[in-house]
Chains A and B, each alone.
Chain A
């Protein structure tokens, strides 16, 4: 897979591990991803597969116990892992924005939302006090908060969850970033609010032409929103494809299982389908494919021999022995 030249954000062979009492636990094991300007890339996987850690590692916001072992993160030609902390701070919130999963706890309860939006405007755009307030109101209106001029002086606890997530989005887009990393932006919200937030993100993306990295475990959200998808399992990418192909022709047994597990309208009143078995503990990943213990189509070599991510056709790659060597490289 060549063609890296035009990528706005590029992650190559990223390895992240966490120091625990049981030793270093690998969380991300060689992730590659590329985001072009203006596109939406979805990263899908269940909890603990390393998708959020990848996002935090891109912005170098990992907890002190987390360590980037190896790999490269390039943004607009710069090597982010080589930047000094002040250079990195100049990017965060200005050229790369981030929205988190928990709007309830991601805003500071003791400052008004206006203050919290204003902070970004002060450090990255150098706005004065009065300008900040006016701009904060404009941003609140932009993310669809009614009566923004009153809401700007409210505290987070005076707002609903969806409203808080809108405030988080207002903070993230305050400087018109080129990339917005949205880590499970709708997971903590109820379904109707989820759709509103996704619509808002889409509208903002079209207006500002920003790229979005959408991290989610919800394939429904992926289908609505993204152009390309990465499926992650146990710290690795197991399948990479555009959205239409992935839903039409999933190749990796894990992806297929995920799609089967989606509740469908025709199969109502039946039991929900689940994937048998559990994700292996990061302390005991097998030498081969991490999915082999749960895989319905497991081959003899799977447990010991690790499949690499290989292209099977243009824009579609999978890490699975079932499909190894089947397509054009």
Chain B
């Protein structure tokens, strides 16, 4: 008993200390809001199944409504959102709804925290060398919906997002919305990220499994040496080296710039190599471990050819560590693309992320952050699903 009390006291103490720290950083009211948000998200874990169905479906309805408002009037959007949410509440397993109930508030909290941090950074979208008169600045703030306090801006932003499905006007690019700015960049960045992810997984698995099947062989030392290089070299070095060899010396691929999908190969490989190296190391250790298991001997005793022993019985087990790494890897590849996009001069999302941050263009920063966060959330969800398929012992709730 005393142990539990002590732990509880520690938890409360740590929570209060955290709150005090936050209050000092972002102000007491924001700190309270933040703590409440965190508590609400954490609380989802303890919600009973029936409540999860209601909460999850309601959150889904809200999200769908906001998405639908991008192209539809309020009526049809509401009908669509409610219909799909009702179906989801009926059909989806509790585990899936619980993840939704966890993910959607997390995204809202992310917007809130990003807003607070943006407002803490010096300067603002309207600060220029030539100081504008207070009246002019007020008029601009009103026009673009940028109040002076972070929490107020958060309220404006969320209201606009939920009711109109709009990411707001770009403050520094006159007459255009954030969606208009990002729309042409999204497919380019997605293609780059996806290609890089595919290269990383394919190359990493190939090298890693080959090495793991024959540890201490030439193939093993070769691929692990390569992996060490891939992990150690920063991607601006790899990128430059690839440019010199494949674009300048061999002339197979364009050096940089954007003019079609041939321009994607070099940046995708640059982006993929470090992750391919990590995946190779994980796949190697996974393979070595699984090949020592008793069930591999059973598979051989059945008379299975070695190919089936490896591809069927060993592969799923060898994939487990790789799959757990894929969530963070996808996040890393997507955010890592900022550097590579800049290096290769590719007009993807990365430029807006950087420009938005430098210009203090709050709407653009939030738009890109929200986009990437959503992507990473979805990806983690997929990884969870894949994990359940790979390892039936990772039981989920009914």
Contact = CB atoms under 8 A, between A and B. Distances in A.
Interface of A: 59, 61, 86, 89-94, 97-98, 100, 102, 105-111, 119-120, 123-124, 155, 157, 168, 171-172
19 contacts: A59-B301, A89-B305, A91-B303, A92-B301, A92-B303, A94-B303, A100-B298, A102-B294, A106-B297, A108-B295, A108-B298, A109-B391, A109-B393, A110-B317, A119-B299, A119-B302, A123-B304, A168-B298, A172-B301
B392 interface: yes
B216 to A, nearest CB: 11
Q: Indicate the size class of the contact surface on chain B.
A: 20 to 34
A109 B297 CA distance: 14
B300 interface: yes
Nearest to B391: A110
Contacts of A111: 313
Nearest to B317: A110
B298 A157 contact: no
B392 A171 contact: no
B390 interface: yes
Task: Give the most central of B302, B316, B390: most A CB within 10 Å.
Answer: B302
Nearest to A123: B303
- Which secondary structure dominates where chain B touches chain A? helix
Contacts of A157: 392-393
B201 to A, nearest CB: 19
Interface in B260-317: 293-295, 297-305, 308, 313, 316-317
A168 B297 CA distance: 12
Nearest to B320: A110
Given A92-B301, A110-B390, 17 more contacts: A61-B297, A61-B301, A89-B304, A93-B303, A106-B297, A107-B298, A108-B299, A108-B313, A109-B295, A110-B316, A119-B299, A123-B302, A124-B303, A157-B393, A168-B298, A171-B298, A171-B302
A100 B297 CA distance: 9
B391 to A, nearest CB: 6
Interface in B302-345: 302-305, 308, 313, 316-317
Nearest to A124: B303
Contacts of A168: 298
A105 B302 contact: no
A132 B317 CA distance: 24
Given A155-B392, A157-B392, A92 B302 contact: yes
Contacts of A107: 295, 298
A120 B301 CA distance: 10
A73 to B, nearest CB: 15
